Structure 1
Amino acid sequence: MRKTFLIAISFTIIMVSCANRNKTDSNSKNQPKDTIYSTKSTDSNKLLSNTVKSVNQDSLKVVVGKDRVLENYAKNLEIFERLLSKKEYLPLNLLEGIIPTNEDEYLHFYMLSSPEEYPESNLNLYWAINSSIKKSTLEDKGNCLYLYLNMAEFVDGEYADAFFIHVPILIDKHKSKFCNLYIDLSERSKYRLRDFFDESCE
């Protein structure tokens, strides 16, 4: 009798233990799985958001300075065209970034004005850039005046003719600044602007 009683109790304990374990296993299969999925989903959304934001910022990154390469300059023109088409604000570094700083950049810019020679030309963009450059130099925005004056080093042809007509207008408006900037221009630019300097600053 005692033996039968002990067997019955042992069987009951085993059944209860198995039931609890199954319940625990069932909960562990359902709850943590949902939690893990939710966490990964949230992290993925955050990562995607940050990535998109980074891509957007990089796509609007304007490169200025002496270390700029032709690819950077071409990208600046693309950004200018994109913002202009959307009638969005043109930041100062972009106004500076579309001004050519060497002969290669100048040729890339001037190429836009020659549809008969270059299939990738874009007259509307050329005139928009040219107009923006002149406007920002007349208004003396940032380093635009210095950058424009230093174009004297490499401008040629019809653009040079218009350039040297525009320079006296800039000098009349910003005479003192022109005289100060002249010293820091390239040797070639100083040579080509020497007559203006002699007439206005000495």
Structure 2
Amino acid sequence: MNKILTLSILIFLSFLNFGNSSELKAQDKTEYEKNLNIASELYLEKKKIPKSILIKLVPENDSEFGAYYATTGPDHKMGETDFFYETTRLIFEKVTSEKIPQFYLPSLNLASYADGEYAEEFLEYLELIINSDKEKFCNSLSKIKHKNRNPIKYYSELNKCE
């Protein structure tokens, strides 16, 4: 009887933990979407997007990137704007033009999503970042989330990073 009660409690607790982790993931997504909405509103109002909001536009995962890229879709309120392209350009230029160190790793992480219609511009910025300091790029690889997929993987091999 004691074993059955213990087993029942363990099963119940495992469901509680599972539920909490799902709630945490949903909360993270909500925070990203909140930031995306703030940036979108500022953009539509033609106001400057603060660096603290801009840096949080860099997606942490494929789901967040999907939400970010969805702003180019015809059904999205930003679909008729260049929000995605202009904000990604702003993020990359914080490194390439303004040399703001806090944007270095986020820019590399953003560049790891280079694909499709925006790939060419992402790759141009990635090359600018790498060519400005190849050693820094190589030393940063361990901190890049998607270092094992192209284009980051390609450029790490091209530059003989170890």
TM-score (norm 1): 0.54
Aligned residues: 133
Question: Which residue in 1 is equivalent to 2:16?
Answer: none
Instruction: Tell me if the contact between 2:58 and 2:109 (Cα under 8 Å) persists in the aligned partners.
Output: no
RMSD: 2.8
Match runs of 1:1-202 below 5 Å: 69-84=28-43, 85=45, 87-88=47-48, 90-115=49-74, 118-122=75-79, 123-138=81-96, 139-186=98-145, 188-192=146-150, 193-200=152-159, 202=161
CA shift at 1:194, angstroms? 2.7
Mark the runs of 5 or more structure 1 residues left unpaired by the alignment: 1-65
Q: 1:150 to 1:94 in 2, by over 3 A?
A: same
More off after superposition, 136-145 vs 102-111: 136-145
What are the Cα deviations for residues 13-69 of structure 1, in whole angstroms up to 9, with x where unaligned?
Answer: xxxxxxxxxxxxxxxxxxxxxxxxxxxxxxxxxxxxxxxxxxxxxxxxxxxxx9972
Higher gyration radius (CA):
1
Task: Give the share of equivalent positions with the same residue, in percent.
Answer: 25
TM-score (norm 2): 0.65
Q: Secondary structure at the match of 1:87?
A: coil
What are the Cα deviations for residues 151-189 of structure 1, in whole angstroms up to 9, with x where unaligned?
Answer: 355443222343223211111123332122112223x42
Mark the runs of 5 or more structure 2 residues left unpaired by the alignment: 1-24
Q: Secondary structure at the match of 1:93?
A: helix
